[in-house]
Amino acid sequence: MQNIYITVDDRGVERSLRKFKRMCDSYGIVKQYRSRQEYKKPSIKTKEKLEAAEKRRRKTVFKTKGSRTKI
């Protein structure tokens, strides 16, 4: 885990807060926090991963078919 340091300057707190949120997203801190909130068995993680991949495949197929067959 990396430490994130943000200095608040003359531009304001809101701008520094947005920068902090962007940095947290880029390092994946929020995603890691949510994954560690509860323990999931490896078999359940694998199952969820496969389901998400299938959902992405169906979504791309639907998008490509839907754009070509419009009347």
DSSP sequence for 1-29: ---------TT-HHHHHHHHHHHHHHHTH
Q: Looking at the predicted structure, is the pLDDT value of residue 68 above 70? A: no
pLDDT at res. 51: 97
Residues 34 and 45 in one domain: no
Contact 10, 23 (CB under 8 A): no
Q: Range of 21's domain? A: 1-38
pTM (predicted TM-score): 0.52
Residues 21 and 44 in one domain: no
Number of domains in the chain: 2
pLDDT by residue (tens digit) across 15-62? 999 999 999 999 999 889 998 999 999 999 999 999 999 999 999 998
Residues 34 and 8 in one domain: yes
Contact 4, 24 (CB under 8 A): yes
Contact 21, 7 (CB under 8 A): no
Residues 6+ apart with CB under 8 A from 40: 48
